[in-house]
């Protein structure tokens, strides 16, 4: 059971989509880093202090994820790319079954 994974994708600024399998419960930033997803820099290592793990979630997922806490909302003010309704810091998102098949969009720039 602890080996359960979900299939997710990352749409890169050049339009390509990279698909990976992420273990349930792993944070999305770590899953992206382990799989060498371009554009996820994660300079602070997941401490919610850099905003270089910024991703756009599809609208369909917004009601299924834990809302950003105050710390994340503050950092989302600092993103290099434009902030959108689906903007989240991927280090603050854990892989859940609701994310299965989702395509996350990687912003044009992170810093």
List residues near ligand FES by CB under 6 A: 29, 42-44, 46-53, 75, 89, 91
Task: Provide the minimum distance between the beta carbon of 48 and ligand FES in the complex, in angstroms, as a whole number.
Answer: 5
Task: Provide the minimum distance between the beta carbon of 71 and ligand FES in the complex, in angstroms, as a whole number.
Answer: 9
**CA distance linking residue 32 with residue 1, whole number of Å:** 22
Residue 42 or 81 with smaller CB distance to ligand FES: 42
Indicate left, alpha or beta for 85 from its phi (over 0: left) and psi (-120 to 50: alpha): alpha
- Using Cβ positions, the residue closest to ligand FES within the complex turns out to be 91
- What tokens were used for 89? 């810091």
Residue 4 or 72 with smaller CB distance to ligand FES: 72
Closest CA to 24 of 86, 92, 90, 99: 99
Residue 6 or 51 with smaller CB distance to ligand FES: 51
Residue 4 or 111 with smaller CB distance to ligand FES: 111
Q: Phi first, then psi: what are they for 20, rounded to 5°?
A: -140, 165
């Amino acid at each position: 059971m602890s080996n359960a994974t979900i299939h997710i994708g990352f749409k890169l600024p050049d339009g390509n989509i990279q698909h990976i399998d992420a273990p349930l419960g792993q944070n999305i930033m770590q899953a992206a880093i382990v799989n060498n997803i371009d554009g996820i820099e994660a300079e602070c290592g997941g401490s919610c202090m850099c905003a270089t793990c910024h991703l756009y979630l599809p609208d369909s997922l917004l009601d299924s994820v834990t809302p950003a806490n105050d710390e994340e909302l503050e950092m989302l003010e600092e993103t290099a790319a434009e902030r959108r309704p689906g903007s989240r810091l991927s280090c603050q998102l854990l892989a859940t079954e609701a994310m299965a098949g989702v395509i996350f969009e990687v912003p044009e720039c992170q810093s």
